[in-house]
Structures are given as structure tokens and as C-alpha cells.
């Protein structure tokens, strides 16, 4: 993507690990996340319960804020198994406790929307091949939600395992599959990739660059 000028790097972005998801430069500031504040600053015309999605076991802190967001491990996990006549009473029973809670009222609608989607049947387009990993699954499901037009505005995907200090080698690009899969959607797609800390240019004695405060940010967006 970088070679094809489909993405660009921004240098010296961000502060310490504690502040990257809140988007503030010091230990103070609001408890909300920077993406949550961005969503709240826009016109409240998108009422979709899937306006903001964080893939993982819990909601990313960057999505904290007044706009409701959904933590989603997988689309399939939101399905209720069984024949429709047997499932319907359970759906009604599950919906009842959420009716009087403003923050949770959209949960039943999320379940109904996701039940109509199937990640196994949503084949990637344009020859895209996602990696067989949690990251690959999250990216593939993001593309599925975008194509399904469910009102998705922001999707957050976290990748663990980068806090390494020795024996770092090269890596293979993971975003190319998403870029290829959504080739017909690129005019309305923006992708931001950033780390919670930066890296120094010079390697230490363990064949790895030492962590630093300001890192780089990779951005891909329509012109």
C-alpha cells in the first residue's frame, strides 16, 4: 500500500501509552476516548446501534464517550441458535431488561441486525486473502459490516503482542487484504494505524529498537 501511494506515514505522533487512546498529551484531560469525542462532535443523524464497533472482548478506551458503541468478538457470537419458533420467546425475554436503560436499549437491535449477517457466507472480493488470525477475522468482519450498510461509521481493531524488546525482525503487511476487499468502497474509507508508543531508529544490543515517546501513524484515506 505504501509502494502504491495508497497509504502514507505521519511521524512524531502521540504521547505515552496511557494517553494514546484518550488522545491527550498529558495525564489530565477527559476520560473519554478521542474517537468517542469525534463521534459526539458530529451531527446526530446516524442512529444505528452499530455506528461504532470495537472488535475484542471489551470496548477500546478510544471509543469511550456519550455515543453508544458495541464491543464485538465475532458476528456469529451474537446469533441465537435453534429454530425460529423456539428462538423468538428467548429474543423477547432478552429484550425486556434493556428497555428502560438508555445505554443498553440498542442491544436487542444489534442482535437482530447481526443475525442477518453470516461471516462464513460473506466471501471477500477482488481476490482478497485475509490472514488466518484474530486480526484477519476482525478485518474481514469490518469489511462485512461496511458492505452490509448497517450504519457502521467507526471500527476499532486492536493487535496485541507488540511490546517486544529483543530479536525483532521484519513483518508482512496485514492491511492489504482489507484494502483489496473494499476496492469499490475506497472513496469513503479511511484507515488509521498507530501504536501506543514509538520506536527509536537505532537498534539496541538485543537487535531491536528501544521504545520511545512519539511514534508513527499510517493513514489511508480517499483523496
- Quick: pLDDT tens for 77-106: 766 665 656 666 766 776 666 666 655 566
pLDDT value of position 95: 66
pLDDT value of position 85: 66
Please say whether the beta carbons of 214 and 185 come within 8 A. Answer: no
pLDDT of residue 2 exceeding 70, the answer is no
Note the pLDDT tens digit of each residue in 107-139.
Answer: 677 777 787 776 555 788 888 999 888 889 999
Angle between the 84-95 and 107-115 helix axes, to the nearest 10 degrees? Answer: 160
pLDDT of residue 17 exceeding 90, the answer is no
pLDDT of residue 166 exceeding 70, the answer is no
How far is Cα 23 from Cα 32, in angstroms, rounded to an integer? 9
- pTM for the model stands at 0.75
Neighbouring residues of 134: CB distance < 8 A, sequence distance ≥ 6: none
How far is Cα 152 from Cα 135, in angstroms, rounded to an integer? 18
How far is Cα 28 from Cα 203, in angstroms, rounded to an integer? 32
pLDDT value of position 111: 72
Neighbouring residues of 152: CB distance < 8 A, sequence distance ≥ 6: 48, 50, 51, 53, 142, 145, 146
Domain residue ranges in the chain:
24-75+117-185
pLDDT of residue 162 exceeding 70, the answer is no
pLDDT value of position 170: 53
Q: What is the mean pLDDT of the chain?
A: 77
How far is Cα 208 from Cα 121, in angstroms, rounded to an integer? 41
Amino acid at each position: 500500500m505504501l509502494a502504491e501511494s495508497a497509504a502514507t506515514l505521519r511521524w512524531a505522533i502521540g504521547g505515552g501509552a496511557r494517553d494514546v487512546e484518550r488522545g491527550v498529551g498529558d495525564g489530565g484531560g477527559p476520560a473519554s476516548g478521542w474517537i468517542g469525542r469525534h463521534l459526539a462532535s458530529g451531527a446526530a443523524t446516524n442512529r444505528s446501534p452499530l455506528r461504532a464497533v470495537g472488535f475484542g472482548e471489551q470496548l477500546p478506551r478510544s471509543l469511550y464517550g456519550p455515543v453508544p458503541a458495541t464491543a464485538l468478538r465475532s458476528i456469529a457470537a451474537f446469533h441465537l441458535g435453534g429454530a425460529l419458533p423456539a428462538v423468538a420467546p428467548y429474543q423477547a425475554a432478552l429484550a425486556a431488561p434493556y428497555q428502560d436503560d438508555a445505554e443498553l436499549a440498542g442491544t436487542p437491535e444489534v442482535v437482530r441486525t447481526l443475525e442477518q449477517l453470516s461471516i462464513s457466507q460473506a466471501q471477500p472480493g477482488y481476490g482478497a486473502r485475509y490472514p488466518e488470525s484474530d486480526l484477519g477475522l476482525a478485518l474481514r468482519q469490518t469489511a462485512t459490516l461496511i458492505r452490509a450498510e448497517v450504519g457502521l461509521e467507526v471500527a476499532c481493531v486492536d493487535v496485541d503482542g507488540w511490546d517486544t524488546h529483543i530479536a525483532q525482525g521484519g513483518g508482512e503487511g496485514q492491511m492489504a487484504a482489507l484494502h483489496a476487499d473494499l476496492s469499490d468502497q475506497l472513496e469513503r474509507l479511511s484507515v488509521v494505524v498507530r501504536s501506543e508508543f514509538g520506536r527509536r531508529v537505532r537498534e539496541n544490543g538485543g537487535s531491536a529498537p528501544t521504545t520511545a515517546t512519539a511514534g508513527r501513524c499510517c493513514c489511508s484515506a480517499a483523496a
